[in-house]
Amino acid sequence: MSVRSVVRISDDAISSRLADEVVILNLRSGVYHGLDAVGSRVWELVQEPATVFSVRDALLDEYDVDPQRCEDDLLALFEELKAHGLLEVGADAAG
């Protein structure tokens, strides 16, 4: 996965917002997952397929965070969501 990768929510994942957090159910495994406030914002940003770099740029606009740390943490989160079957990663976007 790279910043040019396109990510989308898996068809096997449904979610619900609870205050400033999101709870996600993997329909295939029956396992629930929770995201904190920042993770919930990331989840909102990928409701439609998006590139990693577009999500990163949105977070940089909204939060006071080092760009490299934001990118590293975002890639780690996406890898974890993918490993749990909650996110699908497509081909890299052109450009």
Structural domain boundaries enclosing 31: 5-87
In a domain? residue 58 = yes
Q: Which residues contact 57 (CB under 8 A, 6 or more apart)?
A: none
- State how many domains the chain has: 1
Q: State the pTM of this model.
A: 0.89
Give the number of other Cβ atoms within 10 Å of residue 95's Cβ: 6
Of all residues in the chain, what percent carry a pLDDT higher than 70?
97
pLDDT the model gives residue 27: 95
Give the integer Cα–Cα distance in Å for 93 and 3.
9
Q: pLDDT class for 95, splitting at 50, 70, 90?
A: low
30: left (phi over 0), alpha (psi -120 to 50) or beta: left
- Amino acid letter, 18: L
**CATH code of the domain in which 40 resides:** 3.90.930
pLDDT digits (tens, 9 = 90+) for 36-82: 999 999 999 999 999 999 999 999 999 999 999 999 999 999 999 99
